[in-house]
Amino acid sequence: MHEEIFHPATYAAGVPYGVFRKLRAESPVAWIPEPAVGTWPAGTGYWAVFSHADVKHVLRSPELFSSHLGATQIRDPDTPEDLAFVRAMMLNQDPPDHSRLRRIVAAAFTPRAVRALEETIDERARALIASALHKETDFVELAADLPVWTLAHIMGVPDEDRRLLYDWASRVIGYQDDEYAGLSTADAASMSPMAQKAMQYRPTSFTHPDGRPVNPRSYTALADMFAYAHALAAVKKENPTADIMSRMLEGGLTDHEFENMFFLFAVAGNETLRNSIPGGLLTLLDHPSELARLRADPSLLPTAVDEMLRYWPPVMDFRRTATRDVTLSGQKIEAGQKVVVYHASANRDETVFPDPDRFDVSRTPNDHVSFGFGPHFCLGAHLARTQMRAVFRELLPLRIERTGPAVRLASNFQNGLKHLPVRLTPAR
């Protein structure tokens, strides 16, 4: 039955690549049950897609496999109202609605705009790594600062409020892990008046009166974030600046679309790097000969970053919903059934990647799907690579010593680390 593929606790011990390998060979499209997890109820089950070719086919075929019908998470929204809420987000739309929003965002997220940020990102990464020298530090916490700071910078979020982005992402992404689900690290006393007012809308409980957990992706669970986004939109309309959010409003986003875009940026643009940067470092530390190759030839950094993303994909899967009866790798999928593509499995497909379990900082070509594929290919891919290169450029000259065990996130969606204790010192 392979229900371990669904269970979040499986991933706290490591991504089950051995199971993925077996399924690619024997049942590349397989039915996976959704048992209850703690207080979260059981689901309907879904078709899981494991091969690289099938994953790409699903992702490039929105007419067959919709992002909109049931949204893009394995877990179904709890109510019709919750489904309507998440459907408004660009991530959960199909062409042509998705195409219209993507054009607006892309116009503000040009390579030229990202290049203008590169020097600033490099400076921030340099200061961040320098702040951790000669002492033990949790690299997960250290690395999380760069994507949060970058997002706050490009979104025009005041510096004193940027930690809220970290907390909101933790609430949404980490709900399957008790340590993440309740994180609240922002200092209320130092927030902007806009943030302090928005925090009045933060739910006091994340359970319904009958004891059921509130869906972390619902408007109810994120009322404070949407209150903040609404207030930020009003500020930017009155005083537009050069940041990306101002440009998107000028490009034609409605207030409601702006709020949902804020949600997407605050979570997706944050959590992926919060996972991929520590995951990349752990991968290098687990492969000292490849780390030595990269140190000897830093020009390999661009290919090394893509190999980190292949080897440690920050997002392991995404859901689609079949729009009609369809056959995929011999399996008959009925209209309305959930179809979940496993990027983590596709990235180890031996028909595409020679010796796929080998970490190779010079691997090329590298057709990984960690940024997705097709209409939903990640608009922030260039920005993500820029941030990863900035961090690892600073780390390569250093002596990096692990001082404690790496602790993984319990999540069937995000391939994350909660803790990676290290000591950073200049190499002698």
Instruction: Convert the pLDDT of each residue in 179-192 to its tens digit.
Output: 665 667 777 888 89
Q: How many CB atoms lie within 10 A of CB 116?
A: 11
Tokens standing for residue 373: 């594929």
Question: How sure is the predictor about 176, in pLDDT bands with cuts at 50, 70 and 90?
Answer: low
Please give the pLDDT value at position 220.
79
Q: What is the mean pLDDT of residues 387-409?
A: 96
Q: Is pLDDT at 141 greater than 80 in this prediction?
A: yes
The pLDDT score that the predictor gives to residue 276 is 96
What percent of the chain is modeled with pLDDT above 70? 94
Number of residues assigned to the chain:
428
Q: Three-state SS across 331-393? A: EEECCCCEEEEEHHHHCCCCCCCCCCCCCCCCCCCCCCCCCCCHHHCCCCHHHHHHHHHHHHH
Of 54 and 170, which is predicted with more confidence? Answer: 54
Query: What are the tokens at 229?
Result: 């986004």
Is the pLDDT at 159 greater than 70? The verdict is yes
Which helix or strand (DSSP H or E) is residue 215 part of? none
190-226: pLDDT as tens digits: 889 999 998 888 877 666 677 666 777 777 778 888 8
Specify the CATH superfamily of domain 1-426: Cytochrome P450 (1.10.630.10)
pTM for the structure as a whole: 0.92
Domain ranges within the chain, ordered by starting residue: 1-426
Q: Which residue has the higher pLDDT, 113 or 32?
A: 32
Return the H-helix or E-strand segment holding 35.
none
Per-residue confidence band for 173, with pLDDT thresholds at 50, 70 and 90: confident
pLDDT band at 175 (very low <50, low <70, confident <90, very high): low
Residues 258-305: pLDDT tens digits? 888 888 888 877 788 989 999 999 999 999 999 999 999 999 999 999
Alpha-carbon gap, residue 390 to 78, rounded angstroms: 40
Provide the pLDDT for residue 155: 83
CA distance 237 to 244: 13
Using an 8 Å Cβ cutoff, are 278 and 417 in contact? yes
For 101-130, what is each residue's pLDDT tens digit?
A: 888 888 666 777 777 788 899 999 999 999
